[in-house]
Amino acid sequence: MEHFIIDTQTFSDLEIFTAKVGSSSIYDLFKHTRTLAARKRLITIMESPSNNLGDIILRRDAIKYFYDHQICLQIKNEEIDLVDFYLKSKFPAFKNNPLDALADYAKRNSSNDYYVIKTGQRYLIQLSRYLLEFIAQYNRESAPPYLHSIFDQITGIIVNGVLSKATLLDEKRLSFSDITRLDRALRGAEKENINLLLELVYELDIFENIALVAAAKDFSFPEFTTSAGIRLNIEGLFHPAIKNAVRNNMGWVSSRI
């Protein structure tokens, strides 16, 4: 997506972010994502807003789809955080040679490293299985293009990689060979794809959270025009941080481009 730069003073004037105790910022309003990683991703998005109308509409429609269908993601921060920690772990992956891998297993079996590997894989398999079910439920013709793109990417990563067969396993009873094979792939050849999978989940988390805030605060979704000139029309404008705020209508038209 295309972005433009906002200076620090403008961020402050618009109260996008604030360090003042007791004050309310736009970020404070939308920061309650299910995962901490999604919250960090939201900050990145807000720090680099898009000025491309097409991109803005794609993102708006994705959020509105969550809003219209009251979609609730069944994901847990502690599980996804451990998957991310597992993928970033620096301890060596299991060796490809069965005897060497068995020696690794014997050394790690009761260690924290082995717990991270085993639990990270279990949570990732559970997440992958859930995502396939979620996509099967919501990947309808009525879903907007941007969500179709996210769903297609997630599906491709899962069904075309090692997770395809892993989702058929009992993740609570993974064998030694299952764990070593998965570890070599997940922290090796497929690591980049799995990281992308998590990034896409964070984006879905953000969409859900914004949709929930919109429903709770009675927000509406903007409509855009590509006609010449500058035109703004707002009905029922209110400040979300003010209790029982009075709503106002406002409009502005300029023929200058």
pLDDT of residue 108: 59
Residue pLDDT, tens place only, 39-48: 999 999 988 8
Tokens read off for 92: 């060596």
For the chain, the maximum distance between any two Cα atoms, rounded to a whole number of angstroms, is 76
pLDDT of residue 111: 65
Q: Whole-angstrom distance between the N-terminal and C-terminal Cα of the chain?
A: 23
What pTM did the predictor assign? 0.87
Query: 42 with 30: CB under 8 angstroms?
Result: yes
Kindly tell me the sign of the dihedral angle through the C-alpha atoms of 157, 112, 75, 62.
Answer: negative
Checking 219-227 for CB contacts under 8 A at 24+ apart, the result is 221/60, 221/63, 221/64, 221/67, 222/60, 224/53, 224/56, 224/57, 226/53
Confidence at 94, pLDDT banded by 50, 70, 90: low
Q: How far apart are the C-alpha atoms of 41 and 4, rounded to whole Å?
A: 17
* φ and ψ at residue 82, rounded to 5 degrees: -70, -35
pLDDT of residue 99: 57
Query: 86 with 117: CB under 8 angstroms?
Result: yes
CA atoms in the 13 A half-sphere facing the CB of 128: 31
Q: How far apart are the C-alpha atoms of 94 and 180, rounded to whole Å?
A: 5
Q: How far apart are the C-alpha atoms of 105 and 108, rounded to whole Å?
A: 5
DSSP 77-108: HHHHHHHHHHHH--SPPPPSSHHHHHHHHHHH
Residue pLDDT, tens place only, 15-41: 778 766 666 788 888 999 999 999 999
Residue ranges of domains in the chain:
77-202
